[in-house]
Amino acid sequence: MARVLVVEDDPFVRSALIRHLGEAGHSVRSVGTALAALREVAQIGFDVVVLDLGLPDLDGAEALKMLRGVTQTPVIIATARDDEAEIVRLLNDGADDYLVKPFSVEHLSARMAAVLRRAGGGSGGPAAGTVLRVGGLAVDPLRRRAHLDGTPLDLTRREFDLLAFLAARPGVVVPRRDLLAEVWRQSYGDDQTIDVHLSWLRRKLGETAARPRYLHTLRGVGVKLEAPAEAAR
């Protein structure tokens, strides 16, 4: 069961989502405006937000940016807009998934389950309360906190997602296409996007590409995170 906030101004669509998601065992609250969604998220903890873009008080794209300012809760965009450029932009702005109306509740439920797994809240992800440890790194996917040798790391949302994804697979070389699909939610993209975020993450881990400790890039293959040799002994 997930705690779901549905942000949808159409009362018929909202009622249908509440009914079907409730029947599927989820705990559902709903609002019809972006400002109401921000108040709900600030006051109540949710596992996932289903966000329409065509809201009466504020465009959903702006609402997404404001939500990202107050919460890291996964956000699934649910809208009739199907412009590919906008989909890519919203995914880059922090959306975790994107559904084009009309869609079935079964489809939405499957997307929610996948998003929650990636966030560490469902089967296939870390168990509740699990802290991922790799050498001196400690990554808490549920609380979205990371420490290096006991010192908190100040990470952006995308940096944390990248670190947590790799920390859940220590020593495994993850292909770049998998990083794009699972961290950026894109089926294609520029490798430079990954390289830039890896560079920022390395800086915060106190290493460089020339002298890696945790993050290792295998040219033409992918990226892996593993404990430094001195920590493994």
Return the pLDDT at 202.
95
Q: Read off the CATH number of the domain in which 203 is found.
A: 1.10.10.10
Q: Read off the CATH number of the domain in which 63 is found.
A: 3.40.50.2300
> What is the total count of domains within the chain?
2
Return the pLDDT at 189.
62
Return the pLDDT at 107.
85
Same domain, 107 and 43: yes
CA distances from 28 to 18, 41, 76, 186 (A): 6, 13, 14, 28
Return the pLDDT at 148.
95
- The token duo for 50 is 């289903």
Return the pLDDT at 204.
95
Distance CA 36, CA 224 (A): 41
Provide the domain limits for residue 139.
Answer: 132-232
Residue 125 domain-assigned (yes or no): no
Fill in the amino acid letter for 138.
Answer: A
Same domain, 208 and 168: yes
Return the pLDDT at 122.
42
Return the pLDDT at 230.
61
Residue 71 domain-assigned (yes or no): yes
Same domain, 144 and 102: no
CB 59 within 8 A of CB 81: no
Return the pLDDT at 166.
92
Mark which of 118, 148, 180 sits at the end of a domain: 118
Same domain, 151 and 114: no
DSSP 157-185: HHHHHHHHHHHTSTT--EEHHHHHHHTS-
Same domain, 149 and 222: yes
Same domain, 93 and 9: yes
Same domain, 69 and 152: no
Residue 107 domain-assigned (yes or no): yes
Return the pLDDT at 117.
75
Distance CA 202, CA 90 (A): 26
Local confidence pLDDT in tens for the 233 residues of the chain: 688 999 999 999 899 899 888 888 888 999 999 999 998 888 877 889 999 998 999 988 889 988 888 787 889 998 888 888 888 888 888 888 898 888 888 888 888 888 887 765 443 444 445 788 999 999 988 778 899 999 999 998 889 989 998 998 888 888 888 888 778 777 666 678 888 999 999 999 999 999 999 999 988 788 999 998 765 44
Mark which of 86, 118, 150 sits at the end of a domain: 118
Return the pLDDT at 123.
39
CB 204 within 8 A of CB 155: yes
Mark which of 65, 90, 118 sits at the end of a domain: 118
